[in-house]
A = this chain, B = another copy of it.
Amino acid sequence: MNQKIRIGLVGYGNIGRGVELAINQFPDMEGIAVFTRRNPAEVNSVLPAIKIDDILNYKNDIDVLILCGGSATDLPQQGPELAKHFSTIDSYDNHAKIPAYFEDMDNSAKEGQNVSIISVGWDPGLFSINRALFEAVLPVGQTYTFWGKGLSQGHSDAIRRITGVKKGVQYTVPLDQALEKVRKGLNPSLSTREKHIRICYVVSDEGADQSKIEQTIKTMPNYFEPYETVVHFIDEEQFEKDHQQMPHGGFVIRTGESGAGSKQKAEFQLDLESNPEFTSSVLVAYVRAAVKFKKEGKTGAFSVLDVPMSYLSDKSPEQLRKELL
Contacts and interface: CB of A to CB of B under 8 A. Distances in A.
Interface of A: 18, 20-22, 24-26, 95, 98-99, 102, 119, 124, 126, 128-133, 135-140, 245, 258-260, 262-274, 277-278, 280-282, 285, 288, 303-310, 312-313, 317-318, 320-322, 324-325
Given A262-B274, A266-B270, A306-B308, 14 more contacts: A25-B258, A25-B259, A126-B133, A136-B309, A138-B281, A245-B262, A260-B277, A262-B278, A264-B271, A264-B274, A264-B277, A265-B271, A266-B271, A305-B308
B272 A265 contact: yes
Given A308-B305, A310-B306, A313-B132, A137 B321 contact: no
14 contacts: A20-B259, A22-B259, A136-B288, A137-B281, A139-B285, A259-B280, A260-B277, A264-B272, A264-B274, A266-B268, A267-B269, A269-B269, A303-B325, A305-B320
A306 B317 contact: yes
3 closest cross-chain pairs (CB), A and B = A21-B259, A262-B274, A136-B312
Contact of A137 (B138, B306, B312, B318): B312
Contact of A274 (B20, B26, B136, B260): B260
The interface centre, meaning the residue of A20, A258, A304 with most chain B CB atoms within 10 A of its CB, is A258
Contacts of A126: 133, 137, 266
Contact of A259 (B259, B277, B325): B277
Contact of A268 (B259, B262, B267): B267
B132 A309 contact: yes
A262 B270 CA distance: 13
Contacts of A138: 278, 281
The interface centre, meaning the residue of A24, A95, A266 with most chain B CB atoms within 10 A of its CB, is A266
A274 B257 CA distance: 10
B268 A273 contact: no
Contacts of A140: 25
